[in-house]
A and B are shown apart, each in its own frame.
Chain A
């Protein structure tokens, strides 16, 4: 036990571990807050689609040899988020098909571009670390950490300020629109925030696992709590704890960060489901 705490203390003394924990906790917080809205609006698939789009954007940034790739990935992902939401609202076009098309398409094109044009020596390594996060959370530069802190504060701030409106738009969009709430504007806001979160979270868990970070805490919290506020708070707390525990486990045991965090999320989901059914929290 003493050995373990010694080891933890040693690891925590590394700056890159401190950065990773700060960024990991912030990303987990942001993604879980919006996750509740996303899950309830039946938009979970958009998170998944966007993460693949972000992968495609990353590949393009790599091929163009941009020095600051996030400046390209972020706008590109936001653009796709807006497009996807627009399509999702249009009853004539099948929203899920459009999302599937866009996400698989950008995955394929991204991989193809990296294969054809990347001057890197280890393409499979590049692809793998982008998809599964690998250790990128532990190799953040100071600039990236600050960018993440600032964006996270903005996301949390926006969420708190627009909390009531987000609830209204999530629960009943038609009603909100009928009483004069600018629902299109709020949907746009949600899309933009989701895009920001996904780009941030890609460093943590990789683009394939991003949507796990968004939906699992929300789904877990919904097993137990019955009000929107409680679900939101519970999801945020759960997500932060899961990410922290997951990251500690992964650096102690040497397992991949993203996969470990998601595994912890899954375990907590199972636990909450059990607790929920025991207390009768969830109607069958």
Chain B
């Protein structure tokens, strides 16, 4: 049960309401921020060409889109449970786009891809930050849409909990097979 609670807290809470009490701070996203210095263009949607797509697929270390739903869920579970084994790996995943928002004066958004298990009773989300480091919902796909995201896996600690996220992420156009 402990284990399962980890899934939930690391997964759901992370993307949906981990933001509680979180103040907007660069230190929470050290990697994300440093990476965004150079690239300021929005990588979203149309400007990722087919070629670029292929390039990225070659780089992908963990391709969750190739796994069946149950495998995908289990792999994400493993990633969330042992994040250190996945640090620095490029992860590609497909799922439902969800937003989370921290409460407080300066609300901060969290963007995540939600992955459900085969029974659809357990869900895990992996948070991601675009290459631009944007925290503006306008730069992200609409809530509830199916998205495929590629990014570098990392994890960070916040209030004693470990959260996982993909940094310098790109949103890929939906493939027909999905």
Q: Does A45 contact B (CB under 8 A)?
A: no
Q: Which of A121, A130, A135, A252 contacts B1 (CB 8 A)?
A: A130
Mark contacts of B1-27 with chain A using CB atoms, 8 A cut-off: 1 yes-contact digit, 0 otherwise: 111110111001100110000000000
Residues of chain A with a CB closer than 8 A to B74's CB: 14, 16-17, 135, 138-139
Residues of chain A with a CB closer than 8 A to B78's CB: 16, 139
Residues of chain A with a CB closer than 8 A to B8's CB: 120-122, 125-126
Count of chain B residues near A, Cβ 8 A: 31
Binding site for A on B (CB under 8 A): 1-5, 7-9, 12-13, 16-17, 66-75, 77-78, 81, 117-119, 121-123
Residues of chain A with a CB closer than 8 A to B117's CB: 129, 134-135, 256
In the complex, are the beta carbons of A65 and B70 less than 8 A apart? no
Residues of chain B with a CB closer than 8 A to A256's CB: 70, 117-119
Mark contacts of A59-70 with chain B using CB atoms, 8 A cut-off: 1 yes-contact digit, 0 otherwise: 101100111010
In the complex, are the beta carbons of A128 and B119 less than 8 A apart? yes
Complex CA distance for A141 and B121, rounded to whole angstroms: 21
Complex CA distance for A67 and B5, rounded to whole angstroms: 11
Complex CA distance for A122 and B17, rounded to whole angstroms: 12
In the complex, are the beta carbons of A62 and B68 less than 8 A apart? no
Residues of chain B with a CB closer than 8 A to A134's CB: 117-119, 121-122
In the complex, are the beta carbons of A124 and B77 less than 8 A apart? no
Complex CA distance for A129 and B36, rounded to whole angstroms: 40
Q: Which of A67, A132, A139, A251 contacts B81 (CB 8 A)?
A: A139
User: What 10 A-B pairs are tightest by C-beta distance, nearest first?
Assistant: A62-B1, A128-B121, A254-B68, A254-B69, A138-B74, A125-B122, A122-B8, A256-B118, A120-B5, A139-B77
Complex CA distance for A67 and B1, rounded to whole angstroms: 9
In the complex, are the beta carbons of B70 and A141 less than 8 A apart? no
Residues of chain A with a CB closer than 8 A to B69's CB: 254
In the complex, are the beta carbons of A121 and B68 less than 8 A apart? no
- Interface of chain A: mostly helix, strand, loop or mixed: helix
In the complex, are the beta carbons of A120 and B9 less than 8 A apart? yes
Count of chain A residues near B, Cβ 8 A: 39
Complex CA distance for A124 and B117, rounded to whole angstroms: 13
Beta-carbon nearest neighbor of A250 in chain B: B70
Residues of chain B with a CB closer than 8 A to A132's CB: 119, 121
In the complex, are the beta carbons of B3 and A139 less than 8 A apart? yes
In the complex, are the beta carbons of B123 and A69 less than 8 A apart? no
A-B contact pairs, 22 of them (CB 8 A): A11-B68, A14-B75, A17-B71, A17-B74, A59-B1, A118-B5, A121-B16, A122-B12, A125-B8, A125-B121, A125-B123, A126-B1, A130-B1, A134-B118, A135-B73, A135-B74, A135-B117, A136-B4, A251-B70, A254-B70, A254-B118, A255-B118
Beta-carbon nearest neighbor of B78 in chain A: A16
Complex CA distance for A134 and B3, rounded to whole angstroms: 13
Beta-carbon nearest neighbor of B77 in chain A: A139
In the complex, are the beta carbons of A129 and B122 less than 8 A apart? yes
* Interface contacts beyond A59-B1, A125-B8: sample of 5 additional A-B pairs, CB < 8 Å, sorted by A: A125-B4, A132-B119, A135-B122, A139-B78, A254-B68
Residues of chain A with a CB closer than 8 A to B17's CB: 121
In the complex, are the beta carbons of A122 and B123 less than 8 A apart? yes
Complex CA distance for A204 and B9, rounded to whole angstroms: 23
Mark contacts of A237-268 with chain B using CB atoms, 8 A cut-off: 1 yes-contact digit, 0 otherwise: 00000000000001111111100000000000
In the complex, are the beta carbons of A10 and B122 less than 8 A apart? no
Residues of chain A with a CB closer than 8 A to B2's CB: 62, 65-67, 69
Q: Does A58 contact B (CB under 8 A)?
A: yes
In the complex, are the beta carbons of B13 and A121 less than 8 A apart? yes
Beta-carbon nearest neighbor of B68 in chain A: A254
Q: Does A174 contact B (CB under 8 A)?
A: no
In the complex, are the beta carbons of A255 and B70 less than 8 A apart? yes
Residues of chain B with a CB closer than 8 A to A277's CB: none
Residues of chain B with a CB closer than 8 A to A138's CB: 70-71, 73-74, 77
